[in-house]
Amino acid sequence: MPTHNFPQASNPSLSTLGSAAASLGATRRSLLAGAAVGGATLALSAVRGPVYAESRLAAVQAISSQKVAQSIGFNASPNMLKTNYQYSSNWISLASAIGMTYFRGMYAPGLPATLQVVSQARSHGLRWGMTVAPDVNTTTSQIRAAISHIAANAPDICLYIEGINQPNVGVGGQPVSPNWKQQTVATQQAIYQAVRSDPRLNNAVVLGPSLMETKVVAQDYTDLKSLGLLNYVDVIGMHRYPGGHYSDRNMDARLAFVSSVWPGKPFWFTEHGYNNALASRNVPVPEAVAAEYAPASVLEAADRGVNLTWFELLDDPDPSNANPKCNFGFVAVTSTSTSGWRPKPIVGSLQNFLGLLSDPGPTYTAGSVPFSMTSSISDVRATVTQKRDGSAMAHLRRATDCWNPATKTPVSVAKAQVTVTSAKGSQTVFVDHRTTSVPL
């Protein structure tokens, strides 16, 4: 049987992606239909964890292939019109061609460009996860005005509305507000009440604020809970950067910790990614490594019932290649013109992977699939997905690093011999850190 190893294709050109976007656009609108109804979220809440190396054939609960495909989105900055995000038709077409179904970014009702983004996203079937409060100083009246604007102009593409991003750090190098916790909860309350009081936004999810994970301490979560934050969120937003390592680094520990303090809420990784600023000291990885880790990132999050929003779509120009913030993108950018755009290898990697998963149509529930795998290496994992026609795939990978971000050197990953057994019989494949997808 054929297997699929990612990444396997060369980078598509922007012209190729533009053509692909035109052909894909007709189907994108249906991808999230039914995924956020009556306040329900895209969160893959019932998903079981990854399957580890084992020996007996068992009925494994599969994940809906389409749910996994639509669980990944990307961060964008549609309000930053002095950057390459001013070319909204270009980046939205690019995202659609990759197979993305949603993006996260600031909704700025005062900008004419906002309605252009709404129209272009709608035409490509993309949903928008909207942040509406730039910082803790955003007033209740500003929040209500923004949400009213969303309800009037973009209720159909509004996937979620989110609280303040990283309220526990200062903006623009300024010190954090001494009252940031109280201000964060007040802002979240204003958002929640405005969304829930407008029936046009019945399908919108309200996300909690995503804290900067390197600055947060346990007491912050305790204080925010005591101030009533959990009364004003449907889903908890969380940043989860692997620090240049394999995708699940500290993922379980982080989820377990927050769940213990803020129980009963699903999660959404609102930022995840790898920076390619190899001249920096901030745990960078080469572009090829980010491409190799990307499908596993989607799978590791989906295995835990969490959607994942990649940071981000476009780089900023950085000739020195030393600024991490400028080098997280899917697309390298050398100028303030689209002629300076270069898709990185991650574009081809995700386009191939999401194309393999894509199964547009009404929401469906995956069933159980007879499956087992045997390997002498214990870090081999499998995620089993199933399409609506019953066809299934096992997505195999070794959960191990292929790059040392501290020394900026590659790590050799030996291929593990894995025997996969399903209702069709047994087959042997060889698996490293890259995702290998095997039809069952």
In tens digits, the chain (440 residues) has pLDDT values of: 556 664 443 343 333 333 333 332 322 222 222 233 223 233 333 334 555 555 567 899 999 999 999 999 999 999 999 999 999 999 999 999 999 999 999 999 999 999 999 999 999 999 999 999 999 999 999 999 999 999 999 999 999 999 999 999 988 778 898 999 999 999 999 999 999 999 999 999 999 999 998 889 999 999 999 999 999 999 999 999 999 999 999 999 999 999 999 999 999 999 999 999 999 988 999 999 999 999 999 999 999 999 999 999 999 999 999 999 999 999 999 998 999 999 999 999 999 999 999 999 998 999 999 999 999 899 999 999 999 999 999 999 999 999 999 999 999 999 999 999 999 999 999 999 999 999 99
Residue 195 lies in a domain: yes
pLDDT at 2: 59
CB contact at 8 A, 388 and 364: yes
Residue 118 lies in a domain: yes
Residue 51 lies in a domain: no
Total domains in the chain come to 1
Residue 19 lies in a domain: no
* Bond into 312 cis (ω within 30): yes
Residue 69 lies in a domain: yes
The boundaries of the domain holding residue 185 are 65-357
pLDDT at 32: 24
Question: Tokens for 106?
Answer: 């600031």
Determine the 3-state secondary structure of 106 from DSSP: strand
Residue 372 lies in a domain: no
Beta pairing partners, 102: 127
The CATH number that applies at residue 207 is 3.20.20.80
For 402-420, give one letter per residue: b (16+ CB within 10 A) or e: bbebeebeeeebeebebeb
Estimate the share of the chain in helix, then strand, then coil, as percent rounded to the nearest 5.
35, 25, 45
Secondary structure E strands in 201-265: 205-207, 236-239
Sequential DSSP letters for 33-69: TTSS-TT--S--TT---PEES--S-EEEEPEEHHHHH
Dihedral sign (CA 107, 88, 297, 37): positive
Question: Tokens for 316?
Answer: 């900023």
Return d(Cα 67, Cα 76) in angstroms, integer.
22
pLDDT at 328: 98
CA within 13 Å, CB half, 60: 30
Residue entry with tokens 């992977």: 353
Residue 178 lies in a domain: yes
Residue 89 lies in a domain: yes
Secondary structure E strands in 121-215: 127-131, 158-162, 205-207
pLDDT at 51: 57
- Residue 252 host element (H or E): helix 251-261
pLDDT at 174: 83
pLDDT at 50: 59
Separation of CA 377 from chain center: 29
pLDDT at 331: 98
